[in-house]
């Protein structure tokens, strides 16, 4: 998905952030008012949620294959060695 625009709406229970792709795909994230006091904070929190979910959508939630994979998926696990670590 190539991000085309980000739409933000404040609703009764919090914020709704829609990430709209160039082919019409839309990913919606709802952020509770307690997690964001402004539109900018809501967008940042929605991005954090997307990064956290990315690891679960790849390899069944398994570890990253290498440092590039970790960076591209936002799957940073400081306490786990990378696969090319030798003991």
84 in any annotated domain: no
pLDDT of res. 26: 95
**Residue 14 bridge partners (DSSP):** 11, 32
57 in any annotated domain: yes
For the chain, how many structural domains are there in total?
1
8 in any annotated domain: yes
- Backbone φ, ψ for residue 85 (5° rounding): -80, 130
Q: Check whether 87 has a pLDDT greater than 50.
A: no
33 in any annotated domain: yes
52 in any annotated domain: yes
From CA 25, how far away is CA 17, in angstroms rounded? 13
From CA 55, how far away is CA 62, in angstroms rounded? 7
What is the pLDDT confidence band of residue 51, given thresholds at 50, 70 and 90? confident
The stretch 31-51 carries a mean pLDDT of 93
Q: Check whether 44 has a pLDDT greater than 80.
A: yes
Give pLDDT tens digits for 66-78. Answer: 555 555 555 455 5
The stretch 27-51 carries a mean pLDDT of 93
- Domain extent, residue 60, equals 3-73
């Amino acid at each position: 998905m190539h991000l085309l625009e980000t739409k933000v709406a404040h609703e009764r229970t919090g914020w709704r952030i829609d990430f709209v792709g160039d082919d019409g795909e839309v990913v919606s994230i709802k952020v509770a008012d307690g997690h964001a006091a402004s539109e900018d904070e809501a967008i940042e929190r929605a991005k954090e949620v997307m990064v956290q979910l990315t690891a679960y959508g790849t390899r069944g939630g398994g570890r990253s294959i290498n440092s590039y994979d970790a960076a591209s998926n936002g799957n940073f696990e400081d306490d786990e060695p990378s696969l090319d670590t030798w003991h």
